[in-house]
Chain A
Amino acid sequence: MASGTLARDTLRAPARARSRGGRLPRGTVKHAVLIVIAVLIAYPFYFMVTSGVKSFFEATGRPTLWPHEIHLENYVTAWNAAPWSRYFVNTIFISIVNTLGELVTAVLAAYALARMDFKGKAVIFGIFLATYMIPDEATLIPNFVLMSRRYLNLADTYQVQILPFLATAFSIFLLRQFFLSVPNELADAARIDGAGHLRFLWSIVLPISVPALITVALVSFLGSWNAFLWPLIVTNHPEVRPVQVGLNAFRQEAGANYNLLMAASTFVIAPIVVLYLVAQRYLVQGVARTGIRG
């Protein structure tokens, strides 16, 4: 597990420190390089946030590093210039339903694959594994057709942004891996006490799998929040439009008022930045472990 390797690399640190004894400039150079990179990485965020509070004239004048006047009302103007509250309600609703749905389907499937005996287990597992390899690009057009009026007739709804994402092979694998590591003794003890699978799952397996569940939930939530291409092609009306597609529409609507556009970009990324800072550990671990989503 990633956390194991991270723990190990702090263990080996003393050896490095000792070998470098007294060579302070090295550390300084190292920090200098890392700070330059940090500035390069942070600058687009800085540009976004500071441009968002500039006046129109300052924004479209000669670029300034620090805003001469701070116009916090830009946020209000930007917010009122498009149906942002609708977009946010839509995205929050879709992201929460997707996340909860994905958790439920993944927990059940992963439990069956990890801790139950049934015929065809290997085959079913293999099929799930195979679907893991199908990229979204492959299913974009057929799902678009499937959702059209001639078939499921779900274009321009919440369902169209939810149904396809209610289960992913990614979360099933991640949880299955975790459930496999639950000691068999616990399962035996539960069976002797007369607990069925659901009860064992609910009162033993889930409580000890909280880190894995958080990881799955975060990766799923992040994916829903940042979803763009699919909602772009299957939604038309602001009533069901998510924030990313809303921001894309606002790019056209804002025209040269890019201070407002930057204010809007800031509030679109703000919830995710906060979530990331709070739950960094789980998110980084989950994404690093699979490298697939995000």
Chain B
Amino acid sequence: MAIEVLRAGAPRAASRRRRIVDEHVAAYLFLLPAAAVILVFKIFPAFFAFYISLFRWDVIQGPFRGMDNYLDILVANPTRAEQFWRSLSTTVTYTLLTIPLEIAIAIAIAYLLFGRMRGRGFYRTLYYLPYVTSTIAAATAFEWLYHPQYGPLNDLVGLVGVGRQDWLGEPDGVFAMIGSAFGAAVPAIAAGPSLALVAVSLMSIWHYIGFQVVIFLAGLGGISPEYYEAARLDGASEWQIFRKITFPLLSPTTFFVFTIATIASLRVFNQIYVLTNGGPLDTTRTVTMLVFRTFFQQTQLGLGAAMAFLLTLIILAFTLVQFRVLGRRVFYG
């Protein structure tokens, strides 16, 4: 009996080893197509981007410049540095114009839509529609909605006594415009974002709101109904319930939405490209627009890559935060 086991054991071990080898070969073959694509078009380019940023690189590779491209953008070259910092400030302004409002509206909508109600599916379907629509086509429609002569928006604001505006061509700050409408002079520092940037932001809010509503709805679904029941038994009002229960318990979702919305706004390109192309007077030229102009229209690839690298670092910081949140989220499992 013992001999039998021994005899049987040897070939079994060999076949087991063969099976492990086979499993390895198969696994690597399975991974190969995806790994090849990601290696060539994602991992290699990430390093190549940094390499390009170290050179003067017009249409073709030029002399090595070390960190000079970065220095030029940040401080050394007055024109470039001014453009870069201004585009960064425009991006931050755009973010501030869109995200707080988006989040506030989306939470309100999600709160209204939550629970069983008639037409819930209809509202959700409609609100989400802009998010799947091509931003190029949507921006093309907005471009004409905003048109100073043919666009209906001017007629609409005319109803409440506001004069006709050149929505996408107005470089003046909105606070300055409001101020001058009431005869008050607003100092340049408080002029606010250009009307064009506000107009672009409005389209972005329209585009993203449904996406956020869907995430907030999922977040609301994660809050245990017992809290509400207990609060109602204690006679809490709807507003108290929202402020003391819903809002705090929703905060992980809010934080998650905040990070992904910030990443999206750091990357905004299509709407601005169609609506204003960075104008008027560069007041809507965000970092991605500046990267595009520098690398594509001025064919300064080295400088463009350096700017893109700096932008990537900022995006990466937010992505890492988002990752940590995502990792902890229950409903993403």
Contact = CB atoms under 8 A, between A and B. Distances in A.
Interface of A: 1-2, 4-6, 8-17, 19, 27, 30-31, 33-34, 37-38, 40-42, 44-45, 47-48, 51, 59-63, 65, 104-106, 108-109, 111-113, 116-119, 121, 124, 127-128, 131, 133-146, 150, 163-164, 166-169, 172, 177, 197, 222, 225-226, 228-229, 233, 244, 247-248, 251, 258, 261-262, 265, 268-269, 272-273, 276-277, 280, 283-284, 287-289, 291-292, 294
Given A37-B109, A164-B41, A109 B140 contact: no
Contacts of A137: 267, 288, 291, 308, 311-312, 315
A116 B134 contact: no
Given A8-B221, A261-B140, A288-B211, A228 B135 contact: yes
Interface residues of B, number: 110
B37 interface: yes
B92 to A, nearest CB: 17
B328 to A, nearest CB: 15
A48 B134 CA distance: 13
B37 A135 contact: no
A224 to B, nearest CB: 11
Contacts of A60: 149-150
Contacts of B145: 44, 47
B82 interface: no
Contacts of A119: 24
B114 interface: yes
A149 B124 CA distance: 47
Given A37-B127, A226-B134, A276-B132, A12 B115 contact: yes
Chain B binding surface SS class: helix
Contacts of A228: 134-136, 269-270
A261 B225 CA distance: 50
B45 A143 contact: yes
B270 to A, nearest CB: 5
Given A15-B228, A133-B320, A163-B40, 10 more contacts: A11-B225, A65-B152, A108-B30, A113-B31, A131-B42, A140-B291, A163-B41, A172-B34, A284-B128, A287-B131
B38 interface: yes
24 contacts: A10-B116, A31-B118, A51-B144, A112-B31, A118-B28, A121-B27, A137-B288, A138-B49, A138-B308, A140-B291, A142-B49, A150-B60, A166-B33, A167-B37, A167-B38, A197-B26, A244-B136, A251-B274, A268-B137, A269-B137, A288-B211, A288-B218, A291-B215, A292-B260
A79 to B, nearest CB: 15
Contact of B309 (A62, A138, A273, A292): A138
B186 interface: no
A13 B220 CA distance: 12
Interface in B99-154: 105, 109, 112-119, 123-138, 140-145, 147, 149-152
Given A137-B288, A142-B305, A163-B41, A284 B214 contact: yes
B247 interface: no
Q: Which has the most chain B C-beta neighbours within 10 Å: A16, A128, A137, A272?
A: A137
Given A15-B229, A59-B150, A226 B135 contact: yes
